[in-house]
Structure 1
Amino acid sequence: MYEIQLFGSTRVRSGAAALSGRDFGGVKPRQILALLALRGALPKDELAELLWFGRPPANHVATLESYVSVLRRRLDPRGSARRSVILTRNGGYRLDGDRVSVDVARFDALLAAAAGRGPSQALPPLRAALTLVNEPLLVDEPSAGWAVDARERYRKRIVDALLGTATHTLAVGDAPAALEFATRALRWDPLAERGWYLRIAAHKADGDRAAALGAYDECRRLLGQELGVEPSVKLRDLFLDLLRQDQPAGCVDGVVAAIRAMARELASVGDLRAVGEGAGTSARRLAHLLTEATELADPPAPLSAVS
C-alpha cells in the first residue's frame, strides 16, 4: 500500500520505505506523481500541458514516458512496469486506486461525511480531516499554475472546515476547543470575519471579557488597515453585548463603565503596558473602542427626528 501526502511536501510511504524531495528522480517525476494523485487519470497530452506550463517540447511524449519510467523505478526499484502502481490506460496514466491512499482524497471524504450533520455527528470526521492539514498543499511546487490553483482551493476548504469545527465545538459547550479552531482558521485567513466572530464568542463563553475585547479591537484594526472596512453588524452587536454584560439594558453610562472596567482588565494582563506599542497607542485604541461603544449604544438621532 502506498500512502501519498500532498499537504506540505510531497511524500510517499510504502511499508518502511519513504520518498521525498530528490528521491523521486527529479522535479518532473515528482510533479507527475502529484498531478496523478490530485487529478486522477490524465491523458499524456494533458499531463504534458500541465508539466510544461502549456508549452510542451516537440518530443514531449517520449520525454514524459521516460519521466514515468524513472518514477516507477523510484517507487518500486525491484518491480516491473506491468506491476507498477502507476498504470498505463487509454493513452494516459492513473494510479492504482486499490494500492494507493492520498491524503487529499481522505480529507475530501471526511468533509463529505460531516456535511449536513449536527455538531455531535459532524465533529469526529471534521477533527479527523483537520489532522491531515498542518501545512498548505504542495509546498514543493511554489509556482506551477496547477499547484497554485489547487493550493488556493484547498486553503479555502481548510478555512471552512476549521470554522465549521469551531462552530460545532462552541455549540456543544467546548469554548477552549472552539477558540483553538477559530484561531487556526485565522492563521490561514486573517481577514475571515467569521473566524473573528467565533474567536470573540469563544472568549466570551469562557468568561474572558478582556480577551474578547482585545480580539475585537485587533479585528477592527486589521479590517480597517487591509480592507478599509468596519466590522460587520453581527460582530459589532457581539462587541456591544460584551460591554452590556451586567449593565442595565440601553444604559450608555453602563457601557462607559464597562469600557473603563475593560481598561483595568487589559492593564492587568499587560496590554496597556505593551512595550511594542507603548501606552500612547494603547490609549488611542481604548479611546476608539469607547467612542464606538458609545455610538453603538446611543446612536445620534436622524435629522428628521431633530427637526
Structure 2
Amino acid sequence: MIEPASCPKFTLSLLGRFVLTGPNGVVSLPNKKLSGLLAYLACTAPEPQPREKLSTLLWGSHFDAQAKQNLRQALFKLRQILGHEALEGHGELVSLNATVILCDVGRFEALVRDGGREALSAAADLYRGRLIDDVNVGEEGWSDWLAVERERFQELALSAMAGLGERELAAGRADQALKAGQRANALNNMREDAHRLIMQALSATGRKAEALKYYQDVVALLKRELNTEPDAATKALVAELRRAQTLIESAAVSEIEISFPPAPAPMMAVDQPSIVVLPFRNMSDDPEQDYFADGVTEDIITALSRFRGFVVIARGSSFAFKDKGLTSRQIARQLGVQYVLSGNIRKAGNRIRVSAELTHAYDEVQVWSERYDRSIVDVFDLQDDISASVAAVVDPAVRDAEIKHARRKPPANLSAYDIYLRALPHLWGGTRDDIMMAIALLRQSLTLDQMRTTTLAALAWGLVMASPLGATALPETLVEALSLARRAVEQDGTDAFAHAVYGFTLFGPVGDNEQGRIHCLEAVRLNPSSAFAWGILGMIDSMGGDYQNAVACLQRSIVLSPYDNMLHFWMTGLAASCFALGRHEEGISWARNSVQQNPSNGTGHRMLAANLAAVGRLQEACDVTRERDAVQKTTIGELRAVRFFKQDEALERYLTVQRMVGVAD
C-alpha cells in the first residue's frame, strides 16, 4: 500500500541534538553541512530560500563559484537520501516539503502560540535543549544565524514554562508550577519571573520559609552576576510572603501553648523518616548569642529541608517548644518524628564551639554526634558554614540508621522503601557484584512503588556505573538510565540527587555536556549541602576540562562529607584533574587515597600509574599496572572508548603514559 502524501516519511528533531529519523530508524547524514542545510530549511519552512543565501550561509568562506557548486552537490545528496520530493526547487528558490519531513521546531512554535495549558506543557517537553546543539559548521554566516535563533527559541521555551507555571498555580497545582519554574530557571537563572514563580509555588505548598530563603539566594545571585537588586514585583511578593510567615509562626506558637501537652502521639506512620531540629542552646554568658544560636538552628532546618530522604519539621513547630522544659523524646512523640537533632553553642573570645547530636527518638540511641570549632570572622559566613556542615553529615547518618533498621526487618515485611535502603550499600560499593545486586534490588523496589523519585534516580545511577565496572555494556542499558533519570527530574524538579544523576547521565553516556552541567549546577543550587551534587559537578568538570573548578568542587564535597561512601570516586576525579594540570605529586597522593578507600577502583589505579609515570617513577607505575591487570586487564582502545578526559590533548597525554606503563593497544 502506498503511503499517503500527507503522512511525513521523516521526522527531524532540532531542539537539542540533531536527530533525523526515517522508516528504518535514525538516518545519519555524511557531514555537518548537510545537517546544517536541512536544519536551516526546516527552521525557515515553508518559506522558500534563495540559493545564493544558502551558499553564503554554509560556504561563505569559499569562492562564489565553489560555494554554489557545493550547494548543488549538497542538495543532490539530500535528495538521494530523503527522496526527490523532500526538497522543492523553484528556479533560484529551495524549500522543505513539510508533507515529507516533519520538524519539531514548527510544532514547538505552534504550541507556544496556542498558549493553552496542554499546549504549553507539550511545548516545554518538546524543548530538549539548545537549537541543533551538536552541529558546528564553522562559517560566520551560519554562526550569526544560529546564535540569534538559539536565543529566540530559548526565550520561547522560557515563556512557555513560565506561562505553564502560572496556569498550574492558578489551578491549584503548586507542585507542577514549581517544576515549571525550576525548568525555566535551569535554562536561564537571570529570569526574575521564573524566580517569582518558584517562590509562589513553594509558598503554595506550605514551604514559605524555604521560599524566603530562596529569595536570599536570588538577591545574592543578582548582586554577583548583574550588580543589581530584585525588581519591584519580586520585592512585593517577598514582603507578602514575610507577612504570611509571621502570622503562621505566631499561630503555631499560640496553638501549642493552648493545647500543650496533649496525649502522646504514635510515631509518624510514613515510609520516610522524619526529623525535628530543636533550637540550639546558648551556653555562653552573653545573651546576645541567643540570636546566633537561633540563626544556626533556622539555617540547619532550611539546609536539611533540601534533602529528600526525610521529612523535616518546619521552624514554627520546632521553635514552639523552645524553653518548654520537655525532653527530646517527649517533643519527638508530640510531633510524631523518629529523629531529633539537638545541640548547644558556646562562645569563648573570638571562637565558637558548636556541639550537635542526632538521636533516634524511639529507642533513644545516639546516631551521630560532632563538635565544630570555628573562628569568628564573619558571623553570617560562620552561620552558613556550620549549618551546611551539620546538614551534610546528618543526611548520611539518618540514611545509615534507616539501613540498619531495614536490615533487621523480616523479608516478608519489606516495603519498597526498605528494599531501596537495602540496595544503597551495594550501590556505593564500587564493585561489579555490588552494582549488580543494587540494580536487582532497586528494580524490585520499583515494582512495588514506581513513583519514588530517589529510587528512579538511584537505579539510573546504578545502570550508568554498571558499564565501567564491567557489569553491562549494552546501549539499551544507557538508554534506560537516561529515561529513568529524566523521569526522576520530571517527577520532582526540586530533588538535587535526581538532577545530579540526570546531569551526569547526559554528560557521560549521552555526551550532552552543556545540558549535563546545567542540571548539576541546578543540583548544587537546590541543595548546597549535598556532597553528592558537588562531587558530580566536580567529576563533570574534571572530565570536561575545567580542572581548576573540578578541584574546588571535589574538595568541597569531601569537606562536606569526609566519611562518604563515594570518597574514592571524588578522589579519582581529583587525581585526574591534577594529572591534567601537571600537579602530579598531588595527583599521586589523591590516587593513593582513592585506591586505599576502594581497592577495586580500577580508574584510581590507572590515575596513580599515570601520575607516577609523569614524574619519572616508571617502575612504580608499571608495578601498579601489573597489579591492576591481574584483577582486570584494560587496553588502550578501551580507555579511549571510556574517554575519561573529553579534551583531546589531556586524553592523548593520558593514553601515552598508559602505553609507557604497559597497557596494551
User: What TM-score does the superposition give when structure 1 sets the normalisation length?
Assistant: 0.76
Deviation of residue 227 (structure 1)? 0.9
Deviation of residue 124 (structure 1)? 0.7
Q: Which moved more, 1:38-47 or 1:138-147?
A: 138-147
Alignment CA distance shift 1:162-1:263 (3 Å): farther
Letter in 2 for 1:17: G
Q: Please state if 1:101 is matched with 2:133.
A: no
Q: Deviations over 1:170-224 (max 9, x none)?
A: 1111111111000111111101011111100110011002220121011100000
Alignment CA distance shift 1:98-1:136 (3 Å): same
After superposition, where does 1:25-174 map in structure 2 within 5 Å? 25-40=30-45, 41-53=48-60, 57-76=64-83, 83-114=84-115, 122-142=116-136, 144-174=143-173
Alignment CA distance shift 1:43-1:282 (3 Å): farther
Asked whether the 8 Å contact 1:204–1:242 carries over to 2, the reply is: yes
Alignment CA distance shift 1:239-1:60 (3 Å): same
After superposition, where does 1:176-255 map in structure 2 within 5 Å? 176-245=175-244, 247=246
Alignment CA distance shift 1:61-1:195 (3 Å): same
Match of 1:268 among 297, 301, 304: 301
Asked whether the 8 Å contact 1:3–1:12 carries over to 2, the reply is: yes
Kindly indicate whether structure 1 or structure 2 has the higher relative contact order, using CA contacts under 8 Å at least 6 residues apart.
Answer: 1
Alignment CA distance shift 1:173-1:282 (3 Å): farther
Letter in 2 for 1:75: L
Tell me, in whole angstroms, the C-alpha distance in 2 between the residues paired with 1:273 and 1:183. 14
Deviation of residue 266 (structure 1)? 3.5
Which runs of 5 or more residues in structure 2 are unaligned? Answer: 1-7, 248-292, 308-373, 386-665
Tell me, in whole angstroms, the C-alpha distance in 2 between the residues paired with 1:110 and 1:280. 46
Q: Deviations over 1:9-35 (max 9, x none)?
A: 22211223212xxx2121211111011
Which runs of 5 or more residues in structure 1 are unaligned? Answer: 77-82, 115-121, 249-259, 286-307
Asked whether the 8 Å contact 1:136–1:151 carries over to 2, the reply is: yes
Alignment CA distance shift 1:25-1:166 (3 Å): same
Tell me, in whole angstroms, the C-alpha distance in 1 between the residues paired with 2:130 and 2:237. 32
SS at match of 1:207: coil
Tell me, in whole angstroms, the C-alpha distance in 2 between the residues paired with 1:180 and 1:172. 14
SS at match of 2:56: helix
Tell me, in whole angstroms, the C-alpha distance in 2 between the residues paired with 1:74 and 1:273. 51
Alignment CA distance shift 1:233-1:49 (3 Å): same
1:292 equivalent in structure 2: none
Deviation of residue 55 (structure 1)? 5.7
Letter in 1 for 2:144: G
Tell me, in whole angstroms, the C-alpha distance in 1 between the residues paired with 2:233 and 2:295. 21
Deviation of residue 63 (structure 1)? 1.9
Q: Which moved more, 1:139-148 or 1:35-44?
A: 139-148
Asked whether the 8 Å contact 1:141–1:147 carries over to 2, the reply is: no
1:283 equivalent in structure 2: 383
Q: Deviations over 1:146-188 (max 9, x none)?
A: 1121111111111111111111111111111111000111111
Tell me, in whole angstroms, the C-alpha distance in 2 between the residues paired with 1:87 and 1:139. 26
Match of 2:24 among 16, 36, 39: 16
Tell me, in whole angstroms, the C-alpha distance in 1 between the residues paired with 2:152 and 2:108. 13
Asked whether the 8 Å contact 2:51–2:93 carries over to 1, the reply is: yes
Tell me, in whole angstroms, the C-alpha distance in 2 between the residues paired with 1:123 and 1:58. 50
Deviation of residue 84 (structure 1)? 3.2
Asked whether the 8 Å contact 1:162–1:182 carries over to 2, the reply is: yes
User: What TM-score does the superposition give when structure 2 sets the normalisation length?
Assistant: 0.36
SS at match of 2:26: strand
Tell me, in whole angstroms, the C-alpha distance in 2 between the residues paired with 1:42 and 1:127. 32
Letter in 2 for 1:102: C
Asked whether the 8 Å contact 1:25–1:71 carries over to 2, the reply is: no
Tell me, in whole angstroms, the C-alpha distance in 1 between the residues paired with 2:24 and 2:295. 56
Alignment CA distance shift 1:246-1:48 (3 Å): closer
Q: Which moved more, 1:126-135 or 1:56-65?
A: 56-65
Alignment CA distance shift 1:159-1:68 (3 Å): same
Asked whether the 8 Å contact 1:44–1:93 carries over to 2, the reply is: yes
Asked whether the 8 Å contact 2:50–2:94 carries over to 1, the reply is: yes
Tell me, in whole angstroms, the C-alpha distance in 2 between the residues paired with 1:153 and 1:55. 29
1:4 equivalent in structure 2: 12
Letter in 2 for 1:26: N
Alignment CA distance shift 1:166-1:273 (3 Å): closer
Q: Which has the larger radius of gyration?
A: 2
Asked whether the 8 Å contact 2:124–2:161 carries over to 1, the reply is: yes
Deviation of residue 53 (structure 1)? 4.1
